[in-house]
Structure 1
Amino acid sequence: MNALEFFQKSAGNWRSQRTTHHLAFRRAEKGGSEIYVNPLNADDPKVIEICQMHEIDPKAAIGGAYVKWEGTMAWDKEDEENHTGETVFALVPDDESGRKGKLLRERGYAEVVPVAGHYEIDQEDALVLITEYPSMSSYERFWFPAPNVRVRASTVKRFGGFSTATFCTEERDADEQAAIASETPESPAIASIFGW
């Protein structure tokens, strides 16, 4: 699997439940979000635009994704916190396998600025994203324990400041699960584990 195939496998609407550990305070915060993922082909105008923004030849990209999210966290104060946003990714591989390379974004998750990170599909076909921002660094790992369940673990280290560790479980929308199940035979073993 390459990175574009991972995003294609992630297509659709997802409901996410997450726990963020604020390491400096030794406290955990729960939250949830709705996430929409739309894979993009290499010739999509949004992918071309992101490559040009980062001064990289668009012909080097293999595709990308549009991602939109809306969420809440337990410690949010009314009208003070905003966990809503959208971004576009462009994937620029290091080689023909497409399993590692640059991930270009119009905006980052940890900081709202255009950013170029590094992606890699590891030996277990999980997607690893490493991003360096001006004031922090982030490490994210995504994988599929089942076709309609995606898991994400991430750490954010702020330079000279606080660090957080987050674990998310994301489940694909039920209508889309039904559509995928009609196209792909479901594994009885996986079904029994997750109670589907």
Structure 2
Amino acid sequence: MDIVNFFETLAGKWFSQRTTHDLAGQSSQAGKSNLLIEFLPATDGDLAQACAPLGHDPSQIACGLRIHQDSQIDGQTQKIQSTALMVIFPPTEAETGVLVQAASSSPALQGNYRLENEILTIVTPTEAGQVEERLWFVNPNLRMRTSVLKSGNTVQIASFCSEIRMGLVSPPS
């Protein structure tokens, strides 16, 4: 499976259950989210706009995603809603490539991805350290996602999500 096909399989409506562990604070939190993920073709104008601050050539975009998230953390009354874009560039070698993540509330972040044995691994440097995320499918309608926030070689926060597809999204017209 190539990277564009993998990202096409991510499109749809998903229900996500998440457990997050703050290893330094020795606490855990559970939460749930409704995700609406839209596959975007390389020619989508929003993808080019998201990459502009980082100086990427829009003609090199492979595809992208628009992710709408509506989350609720257990024990909190306020929901968290956000929309983000992921812009994927073709792999340069051995299925490794550049990925840009852009949300309206924060500056765009550039990371790298690797697709190996149908497991997507994304590594993104942040102000707090580095986020490493892995995503894979158990079957077409069930996927798993793990992430860790590292500061140096020390894992600060770890999370696990199980996500169930609730429906498909129509392709963009």
TM value normalised by structure 2: 0.87
Q: How far did residue 95 of structure 1 move?
A: 2.7
**Larger Rg belongs to:** 1
Deviations 1:95-131 (Å, cap 9, x if unpaired)?
A: 387x3211012239xx932111111102x21111100
Aligned to 1:114: 108
Select the structure with the greater relative contact order (CA < 8 A; seq sep ≥ 6): 2
Q: How far did residue 21 of structure 1 move?
A: 1.0
SS at match of 1:19: strand
Report the Cα distance in structure 1 between the residues aligned to 2:68 and 2:7, rounded to whole angstroms: 13
- Within 5 Å, which residues of 2 pair with 1:1-196? 1-76=1-76, 78-79=77-78, 83-95=80-92, 99-107=95-103, 112-122=106-116, 124-158=117-151, 163-173=156-166, 175-176=167-168
What stretches of structure 1 of length at least 5 have no aligned partner? 177-196
Deviations 1:142-178 (Å, cap 9, x if unpaired)?
A: 000011001101101257x9811000000001x54xx
Overall identity of the aligned pairs, in %: 28
TM value normalised by structure 1: 0.77
SS at match of 2:24: coil
Report the Cα distance in structure 1 between the residues aligned to 2:107 and 2:51, rounded to whole angstroms: 15
Which amino acid in 1 is paired with 2:101?
R
Higher helix share: 1
What stretches of structure 2 of length at least 5 have no aligned partner? 169-173
Higher strand share: 2
Q: How many residues align?
A: 168
